[in-house]
């Protein structure tokens, strides 16, 4: 059996190996699956009143995935906390996931400290830091992100999988493990095309070019993917991007193309992220929206997810978006890894603490 050849390094510069980290999403999911151990001492379904996920930035995506996947399945609500405030309903019947890649995210540390005071059951997902110590010392559970994941925006698989598996353990969502295994299989099929520097991601990046993309998807996991495409372009390509959710955009945003067409058709590209499993009325809205704006944008691109199951299609869209952002960075000679603006902002916040 011949050794696996290294993929061509078409991304230059790439000081933090985001090419390798993005290609390894399937491996991250598979590793998190293999490492998961059921957690003792959590409230049973009858005693559980809500699930809360606290996280910011790349770590918050795990909560968005859980909320979107559990929404139509779970008997208790999943609430996201993306700031410093803890909902008043958090208490002994609450399962709270505190997600922070570094373990030092100030918003997550504050809400976790408050939650510990209420008697909530806390599960931290982190690589360490102050969060691991706080939750461990407070009687909660800590799931450590396994080595090999370089930074928060590359950790969507490593952070989302434990949340999904804990909720499967509690009987809140079914068939999680099978769906994640299907996602691993789909990402393995997609990987060679993406690593080569060609394929669908390269074509999408070529069509976007130097325009500003607006990503649309149906509510639920596809919308989480659309927001992910936006933030990956922001961080990796250092470029503006926006997103919207169907059917809501048909009630407002579509009106925004009534003027300035001479400008918008030069600077905006519309990208639909599709699963082809949408409600027929939402599928129709995608078509009608595109017809309404096609004269006012540089182009309309449809991207179809592949994979067997909701999570497989979601992670397929995630990895496609990650590689589109890397191609856009490569086109401009931008190193996708460093985010100096975020570093400076955190330094300024720390200096004014």
- 94, 79 contact by CB (below 8 A): no
Is residue 2 scored above 80 in pLDDT? no
> Could you confirm whether domain 189-332 is CATH 3.30.470.10?
no
The per-residue pLDDT for 7 is: 54
Q: At a CB cut-off of 8 Å and minimum separation 6, what does 175 contact? A: 168
For residue 42, give both structure tokens: 């959590």
Peptide bond into 13 cis (omega under 30): yes
pLDDT mean over 246-269: 97
Cα–Cα distances in angstroms (integers) from residue 352 to residues 13, 16, 113, 204, 347, in the given order: 34, 29, 21, 42, 9
The per-residue pLDDT for 4 is: 45
Reported as a single tens digit per residue, the pLDDT across 5-50 is 455 679 999 999 999 999 999 999 999 999 999 999 998 878 999 9
- Beta strand extents in 219-267 (DSSP E only): 242-246
For residue 102, give both structure tokens: 């570094």
If pLDDT is split at 50, 70 and 90, which confidence band does 353 have?
A: confident
- 52, 77 contact by CB (below 8 A): no
- Classify the phi-psi angles of 57: left when phi > 0, otherwise alpha if psi is within -120 to 50, otherwise beta: left
pLDDT higher at 164 or 6: 164
- The active-site residue, picked from 106, 193, 253, 346, is 346
pLDDT mean over 284-300: 98
Reported as a single tens digit per residue, the pLDDT across 311-326 is 999 999 999 999 999 9
The per-residue pLDDT for 6 is: 56
> Could you confirm whether domain 18-174 is CATH 3.30.70.20?
no
What does the alpha-carbon distance between residue 30 and residue 25 come to, in Å, rounded to a whole number? 9
Q: How many CB atoms lie within 10 A of CB 83?
A: 12
Q: Please confirm, yes or no, whether 235 is among the known catalytic residues.
A: yes
Reported as a single tens digit per residue, the pLDDT across 203-227 is 999 999 999 999 999 999 999 999 9
Is residue 329 scored above 60 in pLDDT? yes
Looking up tokens 């998961």, which residue turns up? 36
Reported as a single tens digit per residue, the pLDDT across 45-65 is 789 999 999 999 999 999 999
Supply the DSSP string of 92-153, one letter for each residue. Answer: TTEEEEEEESSS--HHHHHHHHHHHHHT-EEEEEESSHHHHHHHHHTT-EEEEPPTT--SGG
Is residue 3 scored above 80 in pLDDT? no
CATH topology of 18-174 equal to that of 189-332?
A: yes
User: Would you kindly state where each structural domain of the chain is located, as residue ranges?
Assistant: 18-174, 189-332
- The active-site residue, picked from 107, 195, 235, 310, is 235
Q: How many CB atoms lie within 10 A of CB 137?
A: 9
Is residue 1 scored above 50 in pLDDT? no
Closest alpha carbon to 24 in 151, 127, 162: 151
The per-residue pLDDT for 20 is: 95
Is residue 116 scored above 80 in pLDDT? yes
- 253, 292 contact by CB (below 8 A): no
- 269, 208 contact by CB (below 8 A): yes
């Amino acid at each position: 059996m011949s050794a696996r050849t290294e993929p061509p390094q078409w991304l230059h510069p790439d000081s933090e190996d985001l090419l390798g980290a993005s290609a390894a999403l399937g491996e991250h999911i598979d590793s998190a699956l293999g490492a998961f151990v059921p957690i003792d001492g959590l409230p049973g379904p009858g005693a559980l009143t809500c699930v809360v996920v606290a996280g910011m930035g790349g770590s918050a995506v795990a909560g968005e995935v859980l909320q979107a996947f559990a929404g139509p399945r779970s008997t208790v609500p999943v609430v996201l906390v993306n700031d410093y405030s803890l909902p008043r309903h958090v208490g002994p019947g609450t399962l709270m996931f505190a997600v922070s890649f570094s373990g030092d995210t100030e918003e997550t540390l504050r809400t976790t400290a408050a939650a510990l005071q209420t008697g909530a059951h806390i599960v931290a997902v982190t690589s360490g830091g102050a969060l691991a110590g706080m939750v461990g010392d407070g009687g909660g559970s800590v799931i450590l992100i396994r080595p090999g994941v370089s930074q928060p925006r590359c950790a969507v698989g490593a952070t989302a999988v434990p949340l999904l598996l804990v909720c499967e353990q509690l009987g809140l969502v079914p068939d999680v493990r099978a769906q994640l295994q299907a996602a691993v299989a789909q990402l393995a099929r997609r990987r060679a095309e993406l690593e080569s520097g060609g394929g669908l991601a390269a074509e999408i990046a070529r069509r976007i070019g130097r325009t500003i993309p607006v990503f649309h998807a149906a509510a639920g996991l596809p919308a989480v993917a659309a927001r992910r495409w936006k933030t990956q372009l922001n961080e990796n390509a250092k470029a503006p991007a926006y997103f919207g959710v169907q059917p809501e955009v048909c009630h407002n945003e579509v009106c925004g193309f009534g003027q300035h067409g001479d400008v918008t058709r030069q600077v905006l590209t519309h990208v639909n992220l599709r699963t082809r499993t949408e409600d027929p009325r939402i599928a129709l809205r995608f078509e009608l929206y595109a017809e309404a704006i096609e004269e006012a944008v540089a182009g309309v691109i449809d991207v179809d997810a592949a994979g067997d199951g909701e999570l497989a299609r979601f992670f397929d869209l995630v990895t496609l978006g990650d590689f589109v952002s890397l191609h856009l960075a490569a086109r401009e000679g931008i190193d996708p890894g460093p985010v100096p603006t975020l570093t400076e902002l955190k330094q300024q916040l720390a200096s004014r603490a």
